[in-house]
Amino acid sequence: MLQSTGIVNTREDSRFHISAHHCAGRTDSARAAWRSILRGLPDTTPPDISDSDPLGTDSSPGDDLNEAESAVLADVALGSVDPKMSSTAMDEMRSARRRRRIGDVAWGDLAYRVYTTALACLVFAVFASGWVGDSELSAASQTSAQKFGPVWAGLFAGLVLLLGVRSGTRAGPIALESADVYHLLLAPISRSRVLRRPAVGVVGYGVATGVAVGALVGSLCSQRLPGSTFEWLLSGALFGGAAAALALGAALITASRRVPRPWIELLAWALLIASVVAVAGYSPFAPLTLLGQILFWPLSFSLLPLLLVGLAIILAVVGLMIVGGLSIELAQLRTRLVGQLRFAVTQQDLRSVLLLRKQLASERPRNKSRFARLPIRFGGRFPVFTRDVQSFGRWPWVRVLRVTVLGLGAALCLYGAWSGTTPLILLAGLCTYVAGLDVIEPLAQEVDHPMMLASYPEPAGVILQRHLVAPVVVMVLVGCEGLLLVWVLHPSVNIIAIGAITVITAATTAVAGASISVVSEAVLDAGDAAMMPPEVTGPRVVIRTLWPPLVAVIGVTPILVAQRAMRLGNDPIPPALTLAIPILVLAGVVFMWVKYREDLHRTMGEAMGAKT
Amino acid sequence: MAKEYGDVGALAPVDLSVMAGEAIVLVGHNGSGKSTLLSIIAGMLEPSEGTVLVHGQPPDSVYARERRSWLPDTPVLYDDLSVREHMEYTIRMHGGQGDEPIIDDLIKRLGLADREDDLPSQFSRGLRQKAAAAVALVRPFTLLLVDEPFVGLDVAGREALLGLLEEARRGGATVLVATHDPAVISRFKRGLVLDDGHVVHDGTAESLHAYLSADVTHGET
């Protein structure tokens, strides 16, 4: 109940009414509205506004109603919408647009894209096949595959399911055109009818992709495990298709808002966690392991998993039936961003991908900072650091959580590497790199706004370099929480010492790697890229993509040398310290590159110009 | 009804009733909540709290969609349908055949006769606005929501649109228009002033003029 302002009419139930008060027969008012317009036909001269007081100042609402009713019949009466006719109109419009699009297609360009895509898939399949090898696994390995394979496959299915549900919370998986949101979803036609076709397209495409990928995985399995290739192809295809149908069905149901979203998300998380626990060996079974068993049918056949296949089909069908409950607000946002996101991905524009992904998830900075304002003098002396702290203070909770989880994840991976699973350092490095991409947001903002950067009375490189200090501090704090977790799991002085060394190196290299990704996006001379031959561009893109996370991975390697020293019975700290020095030098080199990148580029350009 | 984005309040709790056939102008500075209010009534945004009813029905019901027409501030049109095709399609969605005379009339009145078969993707801002106005007005409605319609329009287009809004109002439709244009504001009978998401004034044209003048004077002193 709102307080009366003395101006606005208050109502008992605080509802905003656009209501037809005194509306007996008022439903025909729209018909009358168009009759009044038609009274102006065929004379199309605009009315002389200056002589009248047009918009209601000289009449009360509805004064002209009787006069209007006596006028010519309107072209279209209100309330004459026939759902079948509307559906037909929509279908014909879509067909016409489709024909027009097909007519506009550059077939040569399309054929080339199909060719390159097929070629890339073929190369990948051959590469994967060679990597997997073709010698049959030993009996022990086969037993292990039969025991753990379905669990891992179930984990993968759980991950895909969770991704589908999260997509559904953002009005996915359908991405409509902007004009469709306005002209179809706001039209007087059933929204289920409007959305069903694109939803069927998305589900069909998704399931087909799942089938193809599953079949590929199955064929790779057939190289090392007993059973015919056909059996493996079939089981892989069925697993891939079922996982895709499960995820997409769950996504559509979530997007429909007919089932409370928190419940669906909770269920998806519960299923994933159950699979993680099963993979870790703390539980003999997880629900999605049943689905994973399909992939390994050639080793052990059971009809029980078909229950989950049936469930996946039911979810997909139900999702398609109730798709009309989609949120227009979220659909509009998704529409706007998905197109840009796809373009950014094709351009390998990592910065745009990250920004758009955050917008898609409605991850907005807080309006009010969590931190009190720093003292004026401090801000005056260290303006860049102060600006960065203000940025961190506006992090939404989801970002704080994400960076925290990544830090803890990196710590657990390093603990796993310390315990003997060496490949986990790759995952640890990736976690720190991804966290680094979040913490260097102020640097990224500077790179995004070159005009503002150019307006400051200091060289751009100097300012960019100063933006690296606060992120390193934040990453050290994140590392410390991870170290605390590891110490809880394994209280030991060596853990603390080696952990502290690794925290410092990991924090600096994570920021260094992330800054390479972001600063490299800033194009210093568009002509350079345009003139490069494909033989150079290709490797350049690969190096630009792989080098930054590799720098982050290098930062966590002190843990490995320390582990080796421990195994040999030596003191682990000196080797870790020894390795830490060149790692910090590497990070320092990157920080200097950030500062002098423009100067280096200019010098090289001048040198090239002098040669020619 | 209210609308929030995270910890930012776009629209404070608003409690309004609008009579059928009223013409109301929404006035306010940038970010005052005018577009948010109209978008909620149009069914494009969901209120964070409260309820919106259009003719007693939720804004996203088919019933409401049959009766409400919305002209947003940024024209949204299919890039591969011509102006005429857009209008034909829209009127067919509302029960027409697609060959009604109103199509030709709106095209003429809004100065689109030479461009009716062209694609909006090739249009200037003003032409897109005219095309969007034609699409919004070609179908029947009892409620017309218009957000900053005069941006980019030439004088003739503006007068034509004003005339069409007046005719719609005289025919009994409810018209809500958000605008900054003082010349347009003066033509409305009832005006709402929004400020930082709050409705700070709701009154007649005279009281609106007096309020805005006082507001300007207060700001100058």
Dump the DSSP string for A544-563. HHHHHHHHHHHTTTHHHHHH
Instruction: Give contacts of B162 with chain A, Cβ < 8 Å.
Output: 46, 49, 54-55
Same domain, A321 and A404: no
Same domain, A320 and A403: no
Arithmetic mean of pLDDT, B93-97: 83
Does B53 contact chain A (CB < 8 Å)? yes
pLDDT of residue A371: 75
Same domain, A406 and A295: no
Same domain, A408 and A301: no
pLDDT single digits (tens) A132-179: 777 778 888 888 888 889 999 999 999 999 999 998 988 888 888 888
Same domain, A35 and A168: no
pTM: 0.70
End-to-end CA distance of chain A: 78
Other C-beta atoms closer than 10 Å to the C-beta of A361 total 16
Nearest to A315 by CA among A255, A275, A360, A237: A255
Residue A223 in any domain: the answer is: yes
Helix (H) or strand (E) holding A15: strand A15-18
Cα–Cα distance between A433 and A550 in angstroms, integer? 9
Cα–Cα distance between A180 and A169 in angstroms, integer? 20
Chain A stretch 405-464, residues whose beta carbon is closer than 8 A to a beta carbon of chain B: none
Q: Do B89 and A100 touch (CB under 8 A)?
A: no
Tokens 């086969």 map to which residue? A142
Nearest by CB to A186, from B1, B17, B65: name it: B65
Domain count for chain A: 3
Residue A351 in any domain: the answer is: no
Write b or e for each residue in B164-198: b if 16 or more Cβ atoms lie within 10 A of its Cβ, otherwise e.
bbbbbbbbbbbbbbbbebeebbbbbbbbbbbbebb
A417's tokens: 């590497």
Q: Do A42 and B105 touch (CB under 8 A)?
A: yes
Q: Which domain holds residue A231?
A: 137-326
Instruction: Give contacts of A36 with chain B, Cβ < 8 Å.
Output: 167-168, 170-171
Preceding peptide of A42 cis, ω within 30°:
yes
Residue A152 in any domain: the answer is: yes
Q: Along chain A (612 residues), what's the average pLDDT of each consecutive run of 10 residues?
A: 26 31 36 38 34 43 35 54 84 85 74 80 80 79 86 93 91 85 89 91 93 92 89 95 96 89 91 89 86 92 92 95 88 79 68 72 74 70 84 88 92 89 89 93 86 80 92 95 90 90 96 92 57 62 83 94 91 93 96 89 76 54
Length of chain B: 221
Residue pair A23/B8 in contact by the 8 Å Cβ criterion? no
Specify the 3-state DSSP secondary structure of A466: helix
Residues 6+ apart with CB under 8 A from A98: none
Residue A85 in any domain: the answer is: no
Cα–Cα distance between A209 and A241 in angstroms, integer? 8
Detail the DSSP E strand segments found in B55-189: 68-71, 143-147, 174-178
Same domain, A409 and A301: no
Tell me the domains of chain B and their CATH numbers: 3-77+140-220 (3.40.50.300)
Residue A301 in any domain: the answer is: yes
Nearest to B112 by CA among B85, B145, B92: B85
Write b or e for each residue in A431-445: b if 16 or more Cβ atoms lie within 10 A of its Cβ, otherwise e.
bbbbbbbbbbbbbbb
Residue A372 in any domain: the answer is: no
Q: Is the ipTM of this complex over 0.90?
A: no
Does A82 contact chain B (CB < 8 Å)? yes
pLDDT of residue A535: 61
pLDDT of residue A27: 38
Residue A531 in any domain: the answer is: yes
A148's tokens: 């753990």
Residue A426 in any domain: the answer is: yes
